[in-house]
Amino acid sequence: MSRAVADVISTYVGMAIRTCIPLAMLPLLSHRLGVAAFGSVLAAQSLALLGALLTGYGFQLSATRDIGISKNTTQIQGVVERVINAQLPLAGLTAIVVACACWLTPALGSSAIFVLATPLLSVFTGLYPTWYFQGRGRIVRGLMIDAAGQIAALGGIFFLAHDTDSAGLSLSLMVLGSAISLCLAVCIIWRDGMLKIALSSREAIKMLREGLPLFLARMGSATYTVAGAWFLVAFSTPAQAAYYGVASKLVSAMLLALAPVAQITLPRASRLAVEAPEHIPLFVMKWGLVLLGIALLTSMSVRWAAPSIISFIFPADMMPAVGVTKFLALTVIASAFSVSLSTFLAIPFRKDGIVTLATAVGAVVNFAAALVFAASMGAQGVAIGRLGSEIVIVLVMGIAMAWMQPWRKTDRAAKRALT
């Protein structure tokens, strides 16, 4: 068995554990909070994840790539230092923006706990250094550390959240779990001797400028992945947010089936783009077919099992989520193509602007669909916008990369980065 295949298998095991824990929260919260309060919690979580992308700023991709091509410990320390320099001011900005957005959202702003807890959850989630563990080939360790905090939150909700008045408490326990994961991760980086903090505005600005295209790309993708429940609370009702939130989280869990392949192969693809770019097309074909096979199997499984799963673990008032889940399952197939194009081609060749352009166009399509369909069609309307966004992204990115064909010439930017 090759090292890459072994890494993918072990990562799948870790990803499965990490995915099952937040999924276990869904039926627990829906039974104890009721559909309206449950929808409000999912909307707050949606807003927090959207804000976390501001703190994360695309470093999950760019810093992973930079660590992957680093030759020694000193270079890795430099990447860690630059990311920390950039993230600290972003964390403060995230807290302000998310708090204001939460306060202005009618279903959330009436609760002081929501206004305080949502930005904290956003900051702690955004600061979690997934990029460090991915770049160093320790993805499973990073997943287990993240899972530890999730287990703490799940345990707290199980023992302490008992009725519809526990929505604020449930969100606060999620914040605590995220803080635990972040603290454990920082301790690991410190123990590895990589935690070097020397605040520098020049380094922060440089890192922010370099990461801007991928940040814009991730923010664009967030409008059709994590922001749906928040859109529905703003434009429709908490109940519709609950239906979409359940469907989105089930499908997002299935989308994670693509993540181990992408996470393991990104550092390898980045090195290949520098050392032997002519081999990239074969690399893309091989791993792209793997992703497509996983996506087809996952999508069909979700569509077949959704009615049984939702009727079994959720209360009867959540059954409208079945139709939304079946429709959203189609996005897994489109995601396989977009992940292949971005992870195996655009990012390794430092064509981050292509990813940004594609996701920006997709974000516009999704936001327009939300404005048009959310009020009249509810969760189903937002689901239509999400699938349309994924298809548009694949088309834009595929056309751009086919036209540029960066593997036909040595990428000078990648060469300079390596040396």
42: domain range?
A: 3-418
Query: What is d(CA 377, CA 316) in angstroms, rounded to the nearest whole number?
Result: 20
Q: Is residue 226 predicted with pLDDT exceeding 70?
A: no
* Range with lowest mean pLDDT among 212-226, 232-246, 252-266, 278-292: 212-226
- Please tell me the predicted confidence (pLDDT) of residue 103: 92
Residue 192: strand, helix, or coil:
coil
User: Where is pLDDT greater, at 69 or 54?
Assistant: 54
The answer to whether the Cα torsion of 370, 374, 379, 383 is positive or negative is negative
Residue 161: strand, helix, or coil:
coil
Q: What is the mean pLDDT of residues 193-220?
A: 72
Residue 36, both tokens = 């309206």
- Please tell me the predicted confidence (pLDDT) of residue 280: 82
- Please tell me the predicted confidence (pLDDT) of residue 2: 61
| Tens-digit pLDDT profile for residues 315-342 | 888 899 999 999 999 999 999 999 888 8
Residue 383, both tokens = 């689901």
Q: What is the mean pLDDT of residues 41-56?
A: 89
Which helix or strand (DSSP H or E) is residue 36 part of? helix 35-56
Query: What is d(CA 210, CA 354) in angstroms, rounded to the nearest whole number?
Result: 14
Identify the DSSP state of 392: H
| Tens-digit pLDDT profile for residues 60-107 | 777 887 887 777 888 888 888 888 888 888 999 999 999 999 999 888
| Tens-digit pLDDT profile for residues 113-123 | 999 999 999 99
Q: For the whole model, what pTM was predicted?
A: 0.72
Shortest CA distance to 224 belongs to which of 194, 259, 248, 195?
Answer: 248
Backbone region of residue 137 per phi and psi (left: phi > 0; alpha: psi in -120 to 50; beta: other values): left
| Tens-digit pLDDT profile for residues 118-154 | 999 999 999 999 889 888 878 888 888 999 999 999 9
Task: Look at the chain and report how many structural domains it folds into.
Answer: 1
Shortest CA distance to 30 belongs to which of 218, 195, 247?
Answer: 247
Residue 260: strand, helix, or coil:
helix
Is 224 within 8 Å of 370 (Cβ atoms)?
no
- Please tell me the predicted confidence (pLDDT) of residue 175: 96
Q: What residues contact residue 239 under an 8 Å CB cut-off, 6+ apart?
A: 35, 36, 39
Average pLDDT of the chain?
A: 84
* Range with lowest mean pLDDT among 174-178, 232-236, 381-385: 232-236
Q: Torsions phi, psi of 236, nearest 5?
A: -135, -120
Q: Give the residue carrying structure tokens 């090195």.
A: 271
Q: Is residue 203 predicted with pLDDT exceeding 80?
A: no
User: Where is pLDDT greater, at 250 or 18?
Assistant: 250
Q: Is residue 399 predicted with pLDDT exceeding 80?
A: yes
| Tens-digit pLDDT profile for residues 4-29 | 566 667 666 777 777 788 888 888 99
Q: What residues contact residue 393 under an 8 Å CB cut-off, 6+ apart?
A: 221, 334, 338, 358, 359, 361, 362
Is 178 within 8 Å of 169 (Cβ atoms)?
no
Query: What is d(CA 28, CA 42) in angstroms, rounded to the nearest whole number?
Result: 13
In order of 57, 122, 264, 317, 350, the CA distances from 78 in angstroms are 17, 26, 22, 52, 19
Query: What is d(CA 54, CA 234) in angstroms, rounded to the nearest whole number?
Result: 21
Residue 285, both tokens = 């074909």
Q: What share of the chain is helix, strand, coil (3-state, %, to 5)?
A: 85, 0, 15
Q: What count of residues does the chain have? A: 419
Q: What residues contact residue 214 under an 8 Å CB cut-off, 6+ apart?
A: 57, 58, 61, 62, 347, 352, 355, 356
Shortest CA distance to 295 belongs to which of 390, 361, 384?
Answer: 390
- Please tell me the predicted confidence (pLDDT) of residue 414: 45
Shortest CA distance to 333 belongs to which of 282, 293, 378?
Answer: 293
Residue 196, both tokens = 């070097």
- Please tell me the predicted confidence (pLDDT) of residue 417: 46
User: Where is pLDDT greater, at 7 or 58?
Assistant: 58
User: Where is pLDDT greater, at 222 or 274?
Assistant: 274
Is 414 within 8 Å of 68 (Cβ atoms)?
no
Q: CA 394: distance to chain centroid?
A: 18
Identify the DSSP state of 317: G
Q: Is residue 199 predicted with pLDDT exceeding 70?
A: no
